[in-house]
Amino acid sequence: MTSAFRPTRRAALGSLAALAAGAAWAQGSAAQTVRIGYQKSSTLIAVLKIQGTLEKQFAPLGVKPNWHEFTSGLPLLEALNLDNVDVSADVADTVPVFAQAAGAKLTFVAQEAPSPTAQAILVKADSPLKTLADLKGRKIGFAKAAGVHYLLLAALEKAGLSFKDIEPAYLTPADGRAAFERGAIDAWVVWDPFLSAAQRQSGARVLADGTGLASYQRYYLASTRFARLQPQVLGVLYAELEKTGRWVKQNPRDAAALLAPFWGLDAAIVEQANARRSYAVRPATREGIGEQQRIADAFFAEKLLPKRVDALDIDLFKPPA
């Protein structure tokens, strides 16, 4: 498999602009923005965006956030790799290893404690599939390089199967939901809030979640260039993520009411999804991200990475005390 991080002409032009922006940072330009990439499912960043928190907290530093939405983690980290964004909202634990395989210089700003039940392999309520072994020969939809990709690999291994034993269908969550509902795929591997939405709206049945298979940690990242230039900005971001994570868990109904219109989902679905996520933001440590190497090795063994990756060959941000 060739690397997914292949710069287009537009991306290359964006990189030149980003280099100019980087020079402005280094020279202390008065017009400074932090380009933040996020996904719809980036809960804590979504709360901060909706409430305008970072606009207020960054102001004393002479900085303002500039928001960029992505459909999934892989293109988000492609943009980070190409220096088209400075900071990435949470991505699943699998995504950084693909970026590293493409030569990205990443700084891990923070991680969320494991949330293994927040992703699962779904089948229809009346599906004949009852066990993981039943996945053999089936067409399975999932987002490439997402956390669910590793969950599927781990589930297949537990069942004595390999990736070659299934027919993969690489689909975004929106396309996966449509394919699942019309019966174009036999199973769908997805994460919350899409998981909870499929359960409540389509009666989907969980064949297996991440319990005992994949811990599903999510990471907040920055380009190493930006992290070295602007540690104060990352310090403010880290503090607000930590605070927001506590607020979401302590105020589940209020958080669901806030996020429901942003996600276009019923508040009950959002509350169910949030209950499965830890949202416990903590510093990333080499000990705490040990599963990253197992993930990288699993993808390489299946020839899904172009080369072996040293998952710990990254920089770690140390939040201010």
Considering the chain, what percentage of its residues have pLDDT values greater than 70?
Answer: 90
Which residues lie closer than 8 Å to 155 by C-beta, 6 or more apart? 121, 132, 135, 208, 213
Classify 36 as helix, strand or coil: strand
Distance CA 177, CA 28 (A): 46
The answer for residues whose C-beta is within 8 angstroms of residue 106's C-beta and 6 or more apart is 77, 80, 96, 99, 100, 221, 222, 223, 224, 314, 315
Rounded to 5°, angle at Cα 96 from 92 and 102? 145
Secondary structure of 188-215 as H, E, C letters = EEEECCHHHHHHHHHCCEEEEECCCCCC
The predicted-structure confidence for 142-162, as pLDDT tens digits, reads as follows: 998 889 999 999 999 999 999
DSSP, res 117: G
Asked whether the predicted pLDDT for residue 248 surpasses 80, the reply is yes
Query: Given this model, what pLDDT does residue 164 score?
Result: 93
Phi, psi of 270 (to 5 degrees): -60, -40
Least confident of 6-10, 68-72, 231-235, 311-315: 6-10
Tens-place pLDDT, residues 4-57: 333 333 333 343 344 444 444 444 444 499 999 999 889 999 999 999 999 999
Q: Average per-residue pLDDT in the chain?
A: 90
Q: What is the mean pLDDT of residues 51-68?
A: 97
- Over residues 114-140, the mean pLDDT reads 97
- Pairwise CA distance, residues 147 & 119, whole Å: 8
For residue 2, pLDDT beyond 90: no
**Mean pLDDT value across residues 49-72:** 95
What pLDDT sits at residue 302? 87
Residue 171 is encoded by which pair of tokens?
């689909």
The β-bridge relationship of strands 139-142 and 218-223 is unpaired
Task: Determine contact, residues 234/317, Cβ cutoff 8 Å.
Answer: yes
Q: What confidence tens digit (pLDDT) does each residue in 192-206 have?
A: 999 999 999 999 999
| The pLDDT of residue 5 | 30
Q: Is the pLDDT of residue 172 over 70?
A: yes
Q: Which two tokens stand for residue 131?
A: 């066990």
| CB atoms inside a 10 Å sphere around CB 30 | 6
- Gap between the Cα atoms of 309 and 304, Å rounded: 12
Q: Which domains does the chain have, with CATH numbers?
A: 9-114+217-316 (3.40.190.10), 116-209 (3.40.190.10)
Is pLDDT at 216 greater than 60 in this prediction?
yes
Residues 158 and 112 sit within 8 Å (Cβ to Cβ):
no
